[in-house]
Structure 1
């Protein structure tokens, strides 16, 4: 790889790591934020919900925007937006303002993730697979060490510092990107003359609005009822409104010319659909642990933020170490054996959480963290490979976008699951209930992996027979 390409990789990598870094650092900050703003656990969960909802919407939208306005422009704009959020969020006078800046931060960092891979694919023509794997290390590495960084920062400087830490990354990425990311090709005549209505149709503004309002209404209805301890008429109306809006969204997406989430693609390629379902469930499991363990350690076992960050490092290191090994194994044997092993490990890790009691050594949570870390390394590579196997080449771009949407839906559902189980206060009893639910989900993933492995072998045999 040439020197120019290396600097391009560093420029993009320093930008795209901000999204997973900010989504993971907050896991350790939740107890502190709950105390500072005097919120119950359900209320403080919106610091998680807001980021993932905004990211799930912003990434595909900004991907489309980059085709119209240029990838370099969107990337640099994302850095500016992230700088503003990182600078002003620590001075939020209340939790509502903090949520607003958190949404702004999600949009800014999503602008870079949405176009970072495309920039590398377009401008690095040699050893593209190596280049993309390096970007994956930036993404997975930032997510892996986020809780550790968050724990150290909060221990020494308190929660505002987890926003200030973005600023040096943003400045470095902006200066390097301005110099090393090539300028975009001029937009086409059609793009320059595009009306506002056509632009709204292209990004499916109606679908985005229905999805956003419907999802938020469902979350508000469920979490508000859980937080208040009873179900009122307003809770039921809010929940039903959200469900109706999501139903309208599904109908709209089936008829839209340029849908926000192309649902017909799922129906046309069922194997790809199952990969996305698996990926969503994997992320429900992983992020339930990712956000649940730090709160368990700090609220139930009274472990400091610094020690929590150290313990959570087990999860990240196991994931990082496993990923390259998984790549070589999957190249030889295909994705399904690795996914089956991953499902078994997640089951064992979930069962281990259920066996913990209030006198168990704190260090014992590292057993579950190691099991989930290894499984996460296997899943990140295995499910991506399974997606490529199940998706026709002509729609691989759409398939990758849907894959990321499944990730964010999984994280949103994990936060919802924890919020419903815990309600106002994170408790040991709730943590055990969470472990039981995660065990059931993990067992279902094992079953799905075995079933799809058998169907994959049958499909392979059928294809071989057809060629003969």
Structure 2
């Protein structure tokens, strides 16, 4: 069956032997909306709770709702990108983002606001798989590997830029209140629609071809995948003993998913392919561990700064700005270096140091030291995200690039949900300094496992050897 990558038709005036740089703007814009929305809400939870009379147990669903939608939607939408092409899914996602922005701006209750966040999560699912598919498609079209700078820009856009979310959220709340954190998605969605329609290549599949592709969607596999993840993520989000049945349901659905996917003629998750690609599975594991550490810091440190240190949302956002600056700087400086393993080792060490610094903080810690912690925390944010993304790009099957990239994001958000659940446990009595120290120990454990897994993964050296081979002229 012809893949979506083979059906993509570049613009007539696109350079034949070079990456079409007109794709970069819509790719980056579509990709930033998910991480920005996932972290911007961090400084808005308290104002939203006050405005709508919602306790923390309800406002927490504003975080969990987007995480659930994203973790489930990324590989599903990624598979649809593989089958139907990036353009269709990119534009459909932009429409959902616009609807979510309008609904959030007008939401009268916390329940409606949660629905808006779910729509934003689903709508932003298309950006990253579509971008990775387009980069792979350009490599196939030109016969040359895509420039390392393009992958660097994408890494910054999809993951590193997430750390500016609290800063942006604090600014928007100061300008127009918490509803502006939803309203801002409306013009961004319109921009995605315009740029996507102008520059993303069309798929030339006929109606008959689309029917054939639709038969490859594997709806049962997708349904079982959704059931497995929903039950697992709901259990992890709440971690109550009386919700044990969710874990049982997840295991049962996962077993049924494995049984079906091993027999389906065109599986949603090709388990045989995944099982034979241990380097890719190791990258997924590293993404999960990196997310536990980075999101525990991003949410836990943010809450502690507001409650434990007594800073305002606006000042907290500014204090976190060095995280963004350091991550951008290290991604830019190291982005063109093909080597992956060294970046991951340095990133793991940076996470260990960050956790150690958090153990030294207290309610009376000087502001300069708090800023220094933010600066150090940005270094692994930039290194790990870039290296893991590049590893997936070279390790994944090109015909399943969208779903493989989406699955990496699922593992990443699974780690984020674990971090969120951990925050709820250690901050059970509020975002106190002892609670933050408990969180630091969890981050330290995840960072050490990340480091050990990276040092033990010999396949990373082979990835470098393969990408360092001369490109065709």
TM-score, normalised via structure 1 length: 0.84
Return the alpha-carbon distance in structure 2 between the equivalents of residues 148 and 20 of structure 1. Answer: 13
293, 310, 324: which one pairs with 2:318?
310
What secondary structure does 2:320 align onto? helix
Structure 2: distance between partners of 1:31 and 1:368 = 24
Distance 1:272 1:72, change over 3 A: closer
Between the aligned partners of 1:458 and 1:75, the Cα distance in structure 2 is: 33
Q: Provide the C-alpha distance between the structure 2 equivalents of 1:213 and 1:393, rounded to a whole number of angstroms.
A: 28
Indicate conservation of the 8 Å contact 1:11/1:177, yes or no: yes
1:150 is paired with a residue whose SS is: helix
Q: Which residue in the other structure is 2:294 paired with?
A: 286
Structure 1 partner of 2:130: 115
The question of 1:146 aligning with 2:165 is answered: yes
CA contact (8 A) 1:144 1:320 kept: no
- Given that residues 77 and 403 in structure 2 are in contact (C-alpha distance below 8 angstroms), is that contact kept between their aligned partners in structure 1? no
Q: Is the 8 A contact 1:61 1:203 kept in 2?
A: no
Residues 177-209 of structure 1 show CA distances to partners (whole Å, capped at 9, x for unaligned) of 3233343213362433677xx466257233233
Q: Deviations over 1:8-30 (max 9, x none)?
A: 43233323321122112112222
* Cα distance, 1:205–1:335 mapped onto 2, change above 3 Å: closer
Q: Which residue of structure 1 lines up, in the alignment, with residue 203 of structure 2?
A: 184
Once residues 416 and 262 of structure 1 are traced to their aligned partners in structure 2, the CA distance between those partners, rounded to angstroms, is 30
Structure 1's unaligned 5+ residue stretches are 226-230, 462-468
CA distance in 2, matches of 1:37, 1:426: 22
Q: Given the superposition, is the C-alpha separation of residues 150 and 120 from structure 1 closer, same or farther in structure 2, using an over 3 Å criterion?
A: same
- Are the structure 2 counterparts of residues 427 and 246 from structure 1 closer, same or farther at C-alpha, using a change threshold of 3 Å? farther
Q: Given the superposition, is the C-alpha separation of residues 20 and 123 from structure 1 closer, same or farther in structure 2, using an over 3 Å criterion?
A: same
Whether the 8 Å contact between 1:45 and 1:415 is mirrored in structure 2 is: no
Rounded Cα–Cα distance in structure 1 between residues aligned with 2:186 and 2:221: 33
Contact 2:235 2:244 in 1 (8 A): no
Q: Which runs of 5+ in 2 are unaligned?
A: 1-13, 466-473
SS of match in other structure, 2:182: helix
Answer whether contact 2:287 2:388 (CA < 8 A) is retained.
yes
Q: Please tell me the root mean square deviation across aligned C-alpha atoms, in Å.
A: 3.2
Encode CA deviations 1:387-409: one digit per residue, 9 max, x unaligned.
45655767666543432322222
In structure 2, distance between residues paired with 1:380 and 1:341: 12
Distance 1:261 1:41, change over 3 A: farther
CA contact (8 A) 2:235 2:246 kept: yes
Residue aligning to 2:468: none
Matched residue, 2:38: 23
Counterparts of 1:209 and 1:294, CA distance in 2: 31
Q: Is the 8 A contact 2:340 2:460 kept in 1?
A: no
Which aligned pairs between 1:341-420 and structure 2 lie closer than 5 A? 341-387=346-392, 399-420=404-425
Please identify, of 346-355 and 373-382, the stretch whose mean Cα deviation from structure 2 is larger. 373-382
Cα deviation, residue 74, structure 1? 2.2
Instruction: State how many pairs are aligned.
Output: 446
Equivalent of 2:440 in 429, 435, 444: 435
Residue 300 of structure 1, CA deviation: 1.8
